[in-house]
Structure 1
């Protein structure tokens, strides 16, 4: 037993130590400049776990991690430690690392259904927050298989199905959950939302089907109207060919609405109005000036002069420097490239009559016409070597 004298000597030594501490300080102590950094190295006070745990910088944390991954401990303890590690990452919203920890815990195959269920449910939550809905749903289903009444797994399964827009499946999850938890507020809310979304999706599907049916009917009516008028089309690979199928009625029946779309950037296409008249996108070409005009809806019953009188009325286009493109000076042609023939079209002719001409073919969904100035030197040069016929 220590004597009173020994006790006195010990106390006296402490006094000397405290006196030195006041003047010399503690060489390993925190300073005003580094105390926050030092505290952040202590596991208890860390705000966020480091990406890489260096034992020299984080000795305490490295020791804890070594304990967590100690292979000599029972699988249940290892799985629980990995679950806790994953929870820390989850709270920090580091969902990828949380998934790794939960997965490592599941690989321990500890046999504890409670731990495995929580690991699966927590991993489902991490996948959910990363947007991996299918993986989250798989984990929720696996957790439910172990514990069919596990509330968190049931709720997560409903949420995943809802995000995946599988509202019928979401309702099934809700109904299973409500058997075990009939008064759970969250499940009741999710079921009401899933039922509402399911009804809305079914309504939208019916509308889409009706719209598709209507469009199909309009397409069939349009193609029938074109076929009845005997209007012929020329595909790009047929241009200048000797194919006997060129513009045939068989080719007409194979047309689609996409094939009738204009190749112009407007994307306009022929349509059938309520009165049964076709309206065509039409292209006027002015080769003398390398210019063009595009009319998106030229009614088949209108005459060419109806449009040209507007385009070349009081205000002439800026590219017409000589001011010669007046309606009374203009000549209109369509070209039969195969026979190198220009067919002159009278300006008072309706569009339909030209479209029905035996040598007129609609190319690229857009009837096109050449506009020249009567008596101009360019017209003379342009028609040289070509045959000219009237309608």
Structure 2
């Protein structure tokens, strides 16, 4: 018997045979599909909610779910996109830029700011990407009306790309809104070096006119401030000359307007002032019995105090008619913490320079009490 076995070898298929086999397989597959039960597919995305369902997919998510949790796949994708160990600085910067652009397009400008800021923090070494990040962040600031920040970011973009016309145009507009007219004019002139743009020319002219108005207003303000300082100096000199003692002022050099402003709510505009050389003081009348007060602005120092009392009496709250000019006594509390009776027929200015009188809170305060009453006696006794 021979040790050799005969091997039967098949001849290779011809092109005609191969084509016939493919057609046969296609027909068999068609027959199989047609034999399946006709059934509507119900597991897809509904036509009226396809965008909503799409947003739930990790690849297309636009925001974190309401419950604040991401699926493991979504979390993994986020890590892949933003993980510094998986991405170069340039890739990270572009990812954050894309995130900022997405929010910007949807008018979520504050979220866009965050995206661009994170991209800037990466500090990639691509000048074009950095210029774009700063320019885009400037645009977000612009829509939020943060004009100074928009100007700063636009100018930062120009440090990476001096020929970035969009950044320079935004810098010019932001400077105008921030009332930095010289800066606006400078950017406009640089833009016009390369192209004669009608809108830039209009902005340049507006900036020049606004600068003139601004300079005029500053001159007026300067004159007004100088006049106010002169009035202030004259006022303080007059008070010192009169010899009026001001609370919390150790000496004449310690007197300033802040210590002469009335401390009563709503009375800040009633500060002492001079009219035709006469000091006009705010005064306060206090009625301890009824816990009521009267505040009077601009009382002349050369007029008797009783004239001011005559303006407030009879008082609407005085049903018994006890508070009349001829039956009340007037007191002030001196720096010695004691009550001192006042002759209301004296001029206000003479009372203010009385031995123990001290002006507190920029206002002359007087206590008004019915003469010989229990309330007057109690008032005096509580100070003894």
TM-score by length of 2: 0.73
Number of the residue aligned with 1:24:
39
Report matched runs for 1:281-300 at 5 Å: 281-300=282-301
2:201 is equivalent to residue 184 of structure 1:
no
Q: Does 1:144 align with 2:142?
A: no
How far apart are residue 54 of structure 1 and its match?
5.4
Q: Which residue does the alignment assign to 1:367?
A: 364
Instruction: Specify the alignment match of 2:277 in structure 1.
Output: 276
Please give the residue correspondences for 1:300-339 in structure 2 after superposition, counting only pairs within 5 Å: 300-313=301-314, 316-318=315-317, 320-336=318-334, 338=336
Whole-angstrom distance in 2 between the partners of 1:86 and 1:341: 71
- Partner residue of 2:258? 258
CA contact (8 A) 1:232 1:252 kept: no
- Asked whether the equivalents of residues 105 and 119 of structure 1 are also in contact (C-alpha less than 8 Å), the reply is no
Deviation at 1:293, TM superposition (A): 2.6
State the match for 1:222 in structure 2: 235
Separation in 2, partners of 1:291, 1:72: 75
Does the CA-based 8 Å contact 2:336-2:356 persist in structure 1? no
Match of 2:23 in 1: 7
Quick one: distance in 2 between partners of 1:335 and 1:27? 91
SS at match of 1:24: coil
Structure 2: gaps (5+ residues): 1-14
Corresponding position of 2:8: none
Distance 1:272 1:79, change over 3 A: closer
What SS does the corresponding residue of 1:149 show, helix, strand or coil?
Answer: coil
1:210 aligns with 2:223: yes
1:185: how far off? 3.0
- In structure 2, distance between residues paired with 1:5 and 1:339: 120
Q: Return the match for 1:49 from 40, 48, 62.
A: 62
- Quickly say closer, same or farther: Cα 1:51–1:198, change in 2 above 3 A: farther
RMSD over aligned Cα atoms: 4.3
Structure 2 match to 1:122: 136
Task: Give 1:99 deviation, angstroms.
Answer: 0.9
Q: Distance in 1 between matches of 2:262 and 2:86?
A: 75
The change in CA–CA distance for 1:297 and 1:188 in structure 2 (over 3 A counts) is same
Counterpart of 1:278 in 2: which secondary structure?
A: strand
Query: Secondary structure in 1 aligned to 2:303?
Result: coil
Once the 2 structures are TM-superposed, how far is the Cα of residue 89 of structure 1 from its aligned partner? 4.4
1:342 maps onto 2:333 in alignment: no
Once residues 341 and 245 of structure 2 are traced to their aligned partners in structure 1, the CA distance between those partners, rounded to angstroms, is 17
Give the aligned partner of residue 7 of structure 2.
none
Aligned: 1:194 with 2:196: no
Q: 1:380 to 1:211 in 2, by over 3 A?
A: same
Q: Secondary structure at the match of 1:371?
A: strand
Supply the distance in 2 between the matched residues of 1:283 and 1:81 (Cα, whole angstroms): 68
Query: Residues of 2 paired with 1:369 and 1:76: CA distance?
Result: 75
Please report the TM-score for the alignment, with normalisation by the length of structure 1.
Answer: 0.72
What whole-Å deviation, never above 9, does each CA across 1:227-247 have from its counterpart, x for those lacking one? Answer: 33x2321415x8xxxxxx6xx
